[in-house]
Amino acid sequence: MTPPSPAATVAAPRASVCAKLPPGYLHTNGSQIVDAAGDDVRIASVGWNQNFSAIQATVAAIAASGFNTVRVSWDDANLKADLVSLTHIVAAAATNGLKVIIDHHNDEGFTNPRDGYGAQQRNGLWFDRGPGTNNTNGAGVKGTVTQEKFKADWVTVARTFAGNATVIGFDLDNEPNTNGHITWGPYGPHGGYGPTDIHAMDQTVGDAIQAVDPGALIIAEGPQNYASSFARTGPAPAGDLTVAGVDPVVLNVPHHLVYSVHDYPAEISAVHPDHGPAAIAAMNRTWGYLVTGNVAPVWVGEMGSSMTSADSRRWAATLLDYMNGHDGAGGGPTFAPGQQPISGDWWVWGNLPGEAPDGTLNADGTLRPAQYAVWHRLLPVPCNRGSTIDFKRPAAIPP
């Protein structure tokens, strides 16, 4: 893991109060995420990927900044230790009025540079042993996680937090990709249904989780597709959900499915175009149609940049305008009064000098204004209008 970073505090904005999600679990209504009363809500989350030494203080700082949810990962190799850490984070989140989304990040943990130390599993799959694999994680590490172990581990995670509405969702697998010859039902280069059918995994594992924790959202990521692997599509590097409309994931407990994509600027992803009309058209084709057609919610489960270049600012303007319903003329989603725009997750909390992105915080624990100018637009309407953040206020919570 990245070395611990100091926790921080900021002047608590009005948004930190109005942006909070209501008590209880969430569910879906068409393309909206709604609370128990049926009111539309917006998940404005931040990614957590470090071993922060002061969990309570870190969570308090996240809440004070205005986020309403934190996305935290686990992996199979470190499941026992990860559950201990997750339990502390969830408890701190409950104290501070935050919600938590838990994601499966990889099988073997932080292994080596070939897979970015676990940032994206090199074999592209959610498992690394058994039919459909070469019995490694794709980065030279012996595979230990079969399909059944993957499901069983998820059930262990879900059972740990069953009935705890602080945990509002389970993100089934981080950035599956077509390196692993993934299919979606009958769609894909190999056709048919096989061990790498992610549609079948989403349903099977989603149902197993719902059997022990029926209240939580099940989050299904579109596999990152760089080479038109699915029938009827072109590339979809952020996540290929082009066939989800005709072959949707169907769970035993309805109205709890959220799809997800990850979107980064070209300076990080090397994906072009990352802004302007061509990027809008790509989003419409690969996932936005699910929102405009009122089919299902889509959560942008990772997005982020250090926001130090003109290109990153163009990327951010395009993506946030799209998510907030300002690109209707280009075929993007629009939202009626009372509805909330598309939910998102900013990557990443902390101070990570030299990394891309480099984190939300300056070295002294204050918020980076250039990043805040983007991610505050993820806050629920009307919380994202204006700010009372004091960027000059020094950190007051010790590491």
349-391 pLDDT, tens digit per residue, is 999 999 999 999 999 999 999 999 999 999 998 886 654 444 4
Strand bridging mode 40-41 / 32-34: antiparallel
Paired strand residues for 18: none
In a domain, 325, yes or no: yes
Lowest model confidence (mean pLDDT) among 222-236, 276-290, 315-329: 222-236
Asked whether residue 4 is assigned to any structural domain, the reply reads no
Number of domains in the chain: 1
Q: Is residue 263 situated within a structural domain?
A: yes
Determine the Cα–Cα distance for residues 61 and 389; give it in Å rounded to an integer. 12
* Confidence at 114, pLDDT banded by 50, 70, 90: confident
Closest CA to 230 of 283, 181, 174, 280: 181
Residue-wise DSSP of 50-76 = B--S-HHHHHHHHHHHT--EEEEEEEG
Q: Is 110 within a domain?
A: yes
Residue 12: pLDDT over 50? no
Q: Buried b vs exposed e over 366-393: b needs ≥16 C-beta within 10 Å?
A: bbbeebbebbbbbbbbebbeebebeeee
Q: Is residue 393 part of a domain?
A: no
Q: What is the mean pLDDT of residues 97-125?
A: 90
Tell me whether residue 5 is in a domain.
no
- What mean pLDDT is predicted for residues 251-267? 98
pLDDT confidence of 336, banded at 50, 70, 90? very high
What is the structure's pLDDT at 23?
Answer: 96
- CATH number, domain at 165? 3.20.20.80
Question: Which pLDDT band, with edges at 50, 70 and 90, does 1 fall under?
Answer: very low
Range of the domain at 347: 15-378
Please state whether 216 falls in left (phi above 0), alpha (psi between -120 and 50) or beta.
Answer: beta
pTM of the prediction? 0.93
Instruction: Please provide the size of the chain in residues.
Output: 399
pLDDT band of 190, cuts 50, 70, 90: low
Classify burial at 232, counting beta carbons within 10 Å of its beta carbon; exposed 0-12, middle 13-18, buried 19 or more: exposed
Q: Where are the alpha helices (DSSP H) in the chain?
A: 15-18, 55-65, 79-95, 147-160, 198-212, 266-269, 276-283, 289-292, 310-323, 369-375
Q: What is the pLDDT of residues 298-320, one digit of tens each?
A: 999 999 999 999 999 999 999 99
pLDDT for the residue 382: 82
Instruction: Report whether pLDDT(397) > 70.
Output: no
Query: What is the identity of the amino acid at 317?
Result: A
**How much is the average pLDDT of 60-71?**
96
Percent of the chain past pLDDT 70, that is, above it, reads: 90
- Residue 83 inside a domain? The answer is yes
> Residue 8: inside a domain, yes or no?
no
When the pLDDT of each residue in the chain is averaged and rounded to a whole number, the result is 90
